[in-house]
Amino acid sequence: MAGRISFILDGRVQEIDGVDPNTTVLEWLRGPGGRRGTKEGCAEGDCGACTVVVSTPDAAGGLSCRAVNACIRPVATLDGCELATIESLAGADGALHPAQQAMVECHGSQCGFCTPGFVMSLCAMLHDATPPGDEATLRALAGNLCRCTGYRPILAAAQRMRELPPAGLDLSSDAAPRRARLEALAGAGGLRYVAGGRRWFAPRDLAELDAALAEAPGAVLVAGATDLGLEITKKHARLDAMVSLADVAELRGVRDDGAILDIGAAATWAEAHAKLAMLWPGLDELVARFAGLQVRNVATIGGNLANASPIGDGAPMLLALDAELELWRAGRARRVALDRFFLGYRRTALEPGEVIARIRVPKPRPGARVAAYKASRRIDSDIAATCACFALELDAGGRVAACRIAYGGMAAVPLRLPAVEAIATGSRWDAALDARMVEALGAAMRPIDDLRASAAYRRRVAAALWLRFAAEQRDGAPRARTRADG
C-alpha cells in the first residue's frame, strides 16, 4: 500500500502528505490547496455550495464524472481521482464554460454565494447527458440551494448551456488517456496513509481489508462518508484510524444474478438507482428523493443500512423487498435476513470489525405490486417523517398470496409488520381489506415523536399511505401529484 494521497487537478498530479485524514476536501481546497472559489455554506451536505466534480474509472471502461459535496468528503478519498473545481472551468483564453456563460446570460446569480456550486452541478449535468426539461434538471439540482434567485433563472441557464458552443473544461473529452493516467496513478495496491499518527486505509480487496482491520482493530469503517463526515464537521470528532470500503472490489457493483439483484454494499444510491427503478418502478421516486444528487453520488447502500437510522429510506425499501445481507469478517462470510439485522436503536447484528459485503434482493415475481412513499416537509433533499414500502403478490384469483410492509420513522428501528401482513395474506385485495388494514396499522404503530412530525401525524400518514398504495396500484388512480405536475 502506498503512502501519499495522489490525484489529478487541472491536468497535473497533486500529492498530499502530512495532512490529517480527518481533513475534508473543502478544508484542503480552501486552505493548503489555495482554491477559495468553492464555498462552505452548511458543512453538512445540504446546500451544495461546496460542489466539485470528481472523475474515476467506471465499470464500462470509461470515466464517471460526478458532482459531489467537498464539505463532508475526507481528502484521502481523492486518491486515484481527477478533481475539477470552479477554477478548472474557464478556458486558458478566459472563455467561460457553457455552464458559466449561461448563468451570466440568464441572470442565474445574485449574491453569488451558491453560484460556484450550481455551476459545478450544471457542468456535471452537461457531461452525464441529463435530459433537458425542468423535472430532470430539478432532480439533478435538488442538492443545490439558492436564497436569492427563486431558481427560475437557474433553470433557464440549465437549458441555455446546451445551446452554447463548447468552451473551457470538457469532461467528456480524452476519456481513454485520462482513465489510463488515473489507473497508473492508483497503482496496484490500496492506500495506507498516515499523518500526525492518524491512519487512513483504502484497501482494494477483502484480503487487504482484513489486513487493515488486523492492523487497526478499532478503526472506523467509512464508505461514502455522508453520515460519518458530519461526525467530523459538526461534532468535531477526530478519528484516529479509518478504513475506507469504497474501493474494495468485492463490495462494489450491482449484479443481475438470475433471480437475485446482488448489490455491493459499497454501491452508491446513484449507481443502483436505474436498476432498482427498472425492476421496481414504484421505488423510483423514493430513490430520486434520497438526499440530493451530490449525496447519492457517494452515499452507499451498505452505509445506509449499517447506520441503522430509524428514519433512513433504504431499510423500509429493502425490508419490503425481503433482502438478505452477506456479512464479512476476517475471511468468514455469513448471511443474515435484513428483518433480523436491526436489533435496537442504531444497533445491528454486525459484530465488531464485521462489514456488510453485499445485499441480495429477490427479483419481483410476475404481477408483484411494489411502491414506496416518503412523507417529508420538503420534496427535495429532506429526511422522511415517515417512509413506507409495500410489496404484494397476488394469486390468479386476485387474493393476496404474499404481503410485506415496512416503515421508517415509526419506531426506534426500521419496522416490518408481520402481524399486519398476516391480515392481508389470503384475503381478497379490496376496500374491505383496506378498512381492516387501516385499523390494524393504527393499532400496530408506536411512532416516534420528534421535530420532524408528531406521533399522531405519523400514525395517520402511515395508514393513509396504504390507502394511496391501494388507490394507485389496484384502482388505477394516477400517481399522486408531485412537483413534476406543477
Ligand X SMILES: Cc1cc2nc3c(=O)[nH]c(=O)nc-3n(C[C@H](O)[C@H](O)[C@H](O)COP(=O)(O)OP(=O)(O)OC[C@H]3O[C@@H](n4cnc5c(N)ncnc54)[C@H](O)[C@@H]3O)c2cc1C
| Phi, psi values for residue 351, rounded to 5° | -90, 160
Q: Look at residue 49 and give the partner it binds from ligand X, ligand FES, none, a contact being a CB closer than 5 to 8 Å depending on partner kind.
A: ligand FES
Q: Are 21 and 193 in contact (CB under 8 A)?
A: yes
Which residue of 14, 56, 307, 425 would you call a contact of ligand X, by CB under 6 A? 307
| C-alpha–C-alpha distance, residues 223 and 356, integer Å | 11
**Residue 265 or 370 with smaller CB distance to ligand X:** 265
User: Which helix (H) or strand (E) is 30 found in, with range?
Assistant: helix 25-30
| Distance of closest approach, residue 41 Cβ to ligand FES, in angstroms | 4
Which residue of 21, 33, 190, 303 would you call a contact of ligand X, by CB under 6 A? 303
Q: Look at residue 306 and give the partner it binds from ligand FES, ligand X, none, a contact being a CB closer than 5 to 8 Å depending on partner kind.
A: ligand X
| Phi, psi values for residue 104, rounded to 5° | -65, -50
Segments of 143-266 assigned E as strands: 191-195, 198-202, 220-222, 241-244, 254-257, 260-264
Q: Crossing angle, helix 115-127 and helix 152-160, to 10 degrees? A: 40
The long-range contacts involving 259-262, CB below 8 angstroms and separated by at least 24 positions, are: 259/362, 259/363, 260/360, 260/361, 260/362, 260/363, 261/360, 261/361, 261/363, 262/358, 262/359, 262/360, 262/361
Q: Are 242 and 219 in contact (CB under 8 A)?
A: yes
Residues 6+ apart with CB under 8 A from 447: 386, 409, 410, 411, 453, 455, 458, 459, 462
> Site residues for ligand X, window 86-145 (CB under 6 A)?
none
Q: Look at residue 41 and give the partner it binds from ligand X, ligand FES, none, a contact being a CB closer than 5 to 8 Å depending on partner kind.
A: ligand FES
**Residue 155 or 356 with smaller CB distance to ligand X:** 356
Q: Look at residue 303 and give the partner it binds from ligand X, ligand FES, none, a contact being a CB closer than 5 to 8 Å depending on partner kind.
A: ligand X
**Residue 100 or 115 with smaller CB distance to ligand FES:** 115
For ligand FES, the binding residues (CB under 6 A) are 40-43, 45-50, 69, 71, 109-115, 146-149
Half-sphere exposure of 363 (CA within 13 A, CB side): 12
Instruction: Supply angle C-alpha 65, 363, 356, rounded to 5.
Output: 60
Residue 24 in the binding site for ligand X (CB under 6 A): no
| Distance of closest approach, residue 322 Cβ to ligand X, in angstroms | 19
Q: Look at residue 371 and give the partner it binds from ligand FES, ligand X, none, a contact being a CB closer than 5 to 8 Å depending on partner kind.
A: none
Q: Are 442 and 463 in contact (CB under 8 A)?
A: yes
Residues 6+ apart with CB under 8 A from 485: none
**Residue 47 or 423 with smaller CB distance to ligand X:** 47
| Distance of closest approach, residue 181 Cβ to ligand X, in angstroms | 27
Residue nearest to ligand X (CB): 303
Which residue of 154, 161, 291, 388 would you call a contact of ligand X, by CB under 6 A? 291
In terms of residues, how long is the chain? 486
**Residue 43 or 317 with smaller CB distance to ligand FES:** 43
Residue 154 is given by DSSP the state H
Which residue of 20, 27, 40, 46 would you call a contact of ligand X, by CB under 6 A? 46
Contact letters (x/-) for ligand X, 247-266, by CB under 6 A? ------------------x-
Residue 414 in the binding site for ligand X (CB under 6 A): no
| Distance of closest approach, residue 251 Cβ to ligand X, in angstroms | 6
> Site residues for ligand X, window 182-241 (CB under 6 A)?
220-228
Q: Look at residue 226 and give the partner it binds from ligand FES, ligand X, none, a contact being a CB closer than 5 to 8 Å depending on partner kind.
A: ligand X
| Distance of closest approach, residue 73 Cβ to ligand FES, in angstroms | 9
Q: Are 413 and 389 in contact (CB under 8 A)?
A: no
Q: Look at residue 23 and give the partner it binds from ligand X, ligand FES, none, a contact being a CB closer than 5 to 8 Å depending on partner kind.
A: none
| C-alpha–C-alpha distance, residues 24 and 222, integer Å | 14
Distances (CA, A) of 395 to 82, 279, 354, 365: 52, 20, 40, 11
> What's the grid cell of residue 323?
433482502
| Distance of closest approach, residue 224 Cβ to ligand X, in angstroms | 3
Q: Look at residue 109 and give the partner it binds from ligand FES, ligand X, none, a contact being a CB closer than 5 to 8 Å depending on partner kind.
A: ligand FES
| Distance of closest approach, residue 243 Cβ to ligand X, in angstroms | 9
Binding-residue total with ligand X (CB under 6 A):
32
Indicate the pairing of strand 198-202 with strand 241-244: parallel
Residues that bind ligand X (CB under 6 A): 44-46, 220-228, 245, 265, 290-291, 295, 299-300, 302-304, 306-307, 312-314, 350, 355-356, 381, 383
